[in-house]
Amino acid sequence: MKKIGILFGQERSFPQAFVDRVNQKGEKGITAEFVKIGKVFQAEEPEYAVIIDRISQDVPFYRAYLKNAAMGGTAVINNPFWWSADEKFFNNALAENIGVPVPKTALIPSREHPDDTTEKSFENLTMPMDWDAIFEYTGFPAYMKPFDGGGWKEVYKLHDKEDFFDKHSQTKQTVMMLQEEIMFEEYYRCYCIGGKYVRIMQYEPRNPHHLRYVIDGPKPSAKLLKTIEDYTLKLNKYLGYDFNTVEFAVRDGIPIAIDFCNPAPDAGVESVGAENFEWVVETAATYAIEKAKAQKFGQDNLTWGEYVKTSAAGVPLIGKAKAVAAKPKAAAKPKAPAKTAAPKAKKAPATKK
């Protein structure tokens, strides 16, 4: 019997619905449950064929546990080795290299010295920084945020350089990035599961959290939906995430990737809505079963992105990206946001909150 586990924190609706859905499918030799950890020994034989990770970014013990399990053959969703190394500033640089539009972004050193360092630790850093060049590059208004953060923590909207220096003085030891503001006409948030299933959702980030998923917005063009889907698939292919969300701000008809390092994205029915919740539960269950069937203990069953693969193969990233973009494929008819690239879903089971 192969076991699929889900590792989670405070969320409740998605983990329970996911386990229920996998078990309802009745796949021979496959079962799902909440992950249970009573002990962790180095190089031990894993108990789970697949684990969906929803919490290890906040719990270092879990991250170490998952890496140990992956070494023995557990297919961890998402790859804990890559997720440990990834961050948002790198994401932006990669996107620009593979041809996905992103906001102009500059890396900003921490205001205070990290612990156990002094000014002598920064001999290679020119001070003061070339602030005029940085401000000219991003322009104002701009957003300042942690280079590896998430969840809208420590995000500042800045109106001029005086505002920047005032807010930056409050950031202590956090390395920040300064990013141009994108004035958008439309905004979309996209689930991407398994590097192939995409759900495009109209979204309004300026609304209160529980009202951000738009269900009655204007119908987007088929061309725009196709471009968003293509960019979503490309980003996740190069990053190597099995379960992620990508956000796009549309300016002058061009979707600009704003945020695409969300490997434990919000999936609660109370925030994403019933239809989106049903899609993510069904699709996550379908993909986890696919991974369990293909998984073999004693070998690497993780997903590695094209960035890592091209590096290991000695292939230029840009050249590889162009080759991927040029590869012909059958055109798929774009669908409305509520139906985009979703596998056939069953009726959602009742879940306990």
| Amino acid letter for position 346 | K
Sheet of 142-146, strand order: 105-108, 176-180, 142-146, 156-158
Provide the residue-wise pLDDT of the chain in tens; the chain has 353 residues.
Answer: 999 999 999 999 999 999 999 999 999 999 999 999 999 999 999 999 999 999 999 999 999 999 999 999 999 999 999 999 999 999 999 999 999 999 999 999 999 999 999 999 999 999 999 999 999 999 999 999 999 877 668 899 999 999 999 999 999 999 999 999 999 999 999 999 999 999 999 999 888 888 888 877 788 999 999 999 999 999 999 999 999 999 999 999 999 999 999 999 999 999 999 999 999 999 999 999 999 999 999 999 999 999 999 999 998 887 644 444 334 344 344 444 444 444 444 444 444 33
Query: Any idea what the Cα angle at residue 92 is, between residues 174 and 190, rounded to 5°?
Result: 105
Q: How far apart are CA 242 and CA 29, in angstroms?
A: 23
Q: Which of 261, 218, 230 is nearest to 329 (CA)?
A: 230
Q: Quick one: tokens of 167? A: 């807010």
**319 three-class SS:** helix
Structural domains in the chain plus CATH codes:
2-85 (3.40.50.20), 104-180 (3.30.1490)
What 3-state class would DSSP assign to 35? coil
The torsion of the CA quartet 41, 67, 21, 339, rounded to 10 degrees, works out to 180
pTM given for the model:
0.87
